[in-house]
Structure 1
Amino acid sequence: MFMDLHMHSSYSDGRNTPEEMIEAAAGIGYEAVAITDHVWRTSDWVPAYAAHLEALKERCRPRIRLYSGIEAKVTSLDGDIDADPSFDALVDLILGSIHRIPKTGGYWSKSDREKAKKSEIIGDWLQAFYGLLQNPRVDIIAHPLSELNGFGVRETDLPMAEITDRIAASGKILELNVRYNTPDQQVIRISADKGAVFLISSDSHAVPDLIANSRLVREYMDKEHFRIVDIDRYLSFRTSSSP
């Protein structure tokens, strides 16, 4: 299925409405999309957002399938996410991402790059990332290594075998994000060899982004042989397995 399950709308930091993003995606030829706006625990607009997307699902059929989602950042070394638990039942998908690397008492900033030991930053990132992999609320790990790039961390600095073993064992969907695919390439290829499932997503924040990025999404789908998740089957299995 030609799909893009990571994009943002004017509900958070996107520049277009959900309707405009969906219409553009349908025009490109996508068979399925998800609107996955950024949330925080205090985002009191999420129920209205989820209801809006639910209504749009009916209007979009059969032209394009629509899924609802949220993207929430990691807030602690334990892999907690910045989303109220009440949001979980309102949407189809939850993306977890590390936008800032947690540390004891706060977050690492880019200004720490010169004065902190790289090993300390990597250690905290690993702890938070492994916590995210174990977080049962999270379906998709978005742009997995992107935040490390700003700290000068490369694949050769990381315990790649351990990371990819844990990704494969977690059962999480790993995202190949066409906007932030460095230094993700090696971890994605090794994880794919170990049986991890993937989405190829654009993380678009506006219609022009979506149009431009769709070419990259198609390119990766055509040239790579990742195990792309069957999203309907995944959601059906997750629902049937819920307590």
Structure 2
Amino acid sequence: MHYRSALWLGFLGGALALPSLPLKADTIRLKNGQTVIGKIVRYENRRFVIVYERSSPATQATIALEDIESVEFDGRPLPPGYAGGGRDDQPSNPPEPPRRDPPPARVPPTTTGGLTQTVSVSAREDWTYTQLDVRRGDRIRVSARGIVRLDSRRQSPPDGIADDDPDKLMPGRPTGGLIAVIGDDNNDFIFIGSSREFVAQRSGKLYLSVNEGDLSDNSGSYEARVEVQRNP
């Protein structure tokens, strides 16, 4: 897979050194209605780094402050870099009492043998893990909505825009469009756009991202609904 940041390499390989996690959990509620539960280990550049609860090996995600509705800390000291109390350093809503909701990634199989997951795909992250592992022959259906900013003057829907970008991962496809890949060692990218159904050609973790070379000045996220119908 083509990696666009050192942080992503640490995430995939587990090489990023993290402290051992206590059983306590923090809760981040996103503006799109999702809830993420785990341990917040760092806050920097208006972004939280959280390690998913009960994930083995430890899996972490980076969530932009502008996508967050509220943050709840489970009685622990605040993470490094997060002072709290300032209008520019925390979400607009004050923390609520801690809840023990299960993380949204743990969706059980349906009675028809399928899996469904709704994912917030940050425009600043190299790849977003859908928390779904697919098998070769599975039928995958993805639908997405939302608008992301590619810089101070351009914005894009999941279908992308007609704008030249020599560094994007899929040169022949619209810039800023939603793309997918199966496995962390694969360069066979799949253009999704606002809707796509396809059959998995290999087994592995399913990731989503934005078709652009430089993501550092991006903001916002797409909301993607992923349905996997198992191949019997």
TM-score, normalization by structure 2: 0.32
User: Greater share of helix residues, 1 or 2?
Assistant: 1
TM-score, normalization by structure 1: 0.31
